Copies of this chain bind each other. A is one copy, B any other.
């Protein structure tokens, strides 16, 4: 035994408690401070990142058919030039199967211990990870640190916690004693063991390579499966770093490091489909588009369990508010953060065409729309702050989408590049104004900083439109502003029926985009935006099965 489980047992116990109470909790500080992470941590992380540029990323002992692969481009304009071991799906699957036995036969504690140590080491690499995430996704540094580092680690720990709870709920052995009236009882000794499904595939996305991958990665790993991590070709580095660190921990604990593998590829020669459709892959965690999600579901093996986070149309319904400024600036931040490239970012803002009541008196539809526009302008007025909030645009496709979306209706606020970020691909929020019924442009997802302020006859219509769109097209978040409890309760019912969680009257330091591990279930699994939630029992319980033996005991 490596002692990892004992080392991190107190953390696990706190995590089990947090998952029950759903209060705030995290063992991984989100403040990128030298006082916490070490005075040289920031520079060390930047240095580690820079030293990888233009180099082959070496992963000790990783299978390869020879050659390297990788063509990442930084949205900030930096040439990365990093390459990764090239390995065919067949080679990866064979290596994963060869590594399986020792890992599947290990004790629950041994595997969970490895996962906890792995997360702890990831935490210590948070600054290097921040650079890696920022320069592949375009997230601003501070967001890349938090979402790519501690918050992703939180989500990984949450998955390990749920996996541990589910595995540990069955005892290792039991005595079964069945009375037989006046005869001796029947007595059996039973032993139970966790058996994994097999090889797990984790398909990462371009925008949140770690945050969206860690839950599946750690849930599959903790439950005894071997894991092949398939990063998006545009965002390999954060997951390569993850795999490298995980393999070191596995080796130290005496396991075959091929329990965790990297399936790197590059645009034009992706290997994802070959991996998905191989029947020896028994678990797939996928984050990405609905179209590819459909393909994954249709082409995965019949015994493959598929967990998805796809996309949807997130809405805000504005009915009334007792804090008009707070509402406008909260919405403005949600539209601007990482230039709307979050699966949780709102797209549709429904406002009654007769306007709303506020603490500043009645506001017409146009005044509400203008309030939001002005708040965005104010938030992004300072170029440095704009850069820190918006970051850069991850892909050319998103930039193209912003250009073409400007033709979808009257423009309330045009998108523009951010000053002083000349080498970077940037765009501030484009906001359009529409009337429900005049257009159906807002009935589908426009990924990126594209949103619509939509006139509806009243708040109830807004709720009904937003909820039915969520049920049909999916939604990961919903938000409402209302001073009236009747409307709030009605919205809570309507969005719950559509399978969306609802934020009410956010006017301060919490944003609809944010989802906190151990407290918020990210995605419900109950509409087309995804079939699973991060993280609940359903996310982990089917990644393993129980096999038993039973035999007589003397009574």
Contacts and interface: CB of A to CB of B under 8 A. Distances in A.
A182 interface: no
Quick one: which of A175, A502, A546 has the most chain B CB within 10 A?
A546
Interface string A541-555: 110011111111000
8 contacts: A24-B178, A176-B519, A195-B524, A503-B550, A524-B546, A526-B545, A533-B546, A538-B541
A22 B505 CA distance: 47
Contacts of A193: 496
Interface string A174-213: 1111111000001010111101010000000000000000
Given A192-B22, A496-B195, A525-B545, A551 B504 contact: yes
Interface in A8-45: 20-24
Contacts of A546: 521, 524, 533, 536
Contact residues on A (Cβ < 8 Å of other chain), bracket: 35 or more
Q: Number of copies of this chain in the oligomer?
A: 2
A516 interface: yes
A457 B137 CA distance: 60
Contacts of A541: 536-538, 541-542
A7 to B, nearest CB: 26
B174 A549 contact: no
Interface stretch (A145-153, A348-356, A414-422, A506-514): A506-514
Interface of A: 20-24, 105, 166, 169-171, 174-180, 186, 188, 190-193, 195, 197, 294, 297-298, 302-303, 488, 492-493, 495-497, 499-510, 516, 519-521, 524-526, 528, 531, 533, 536-538, 541-542, 545-552
A180 B509 contact: yes
B509 A23 contact: no
Contacts of A510: 186, 188, 550, 552
A395 to B, nearest CB: 27
Contact of A520 (B191, B505, B521, B550): B550
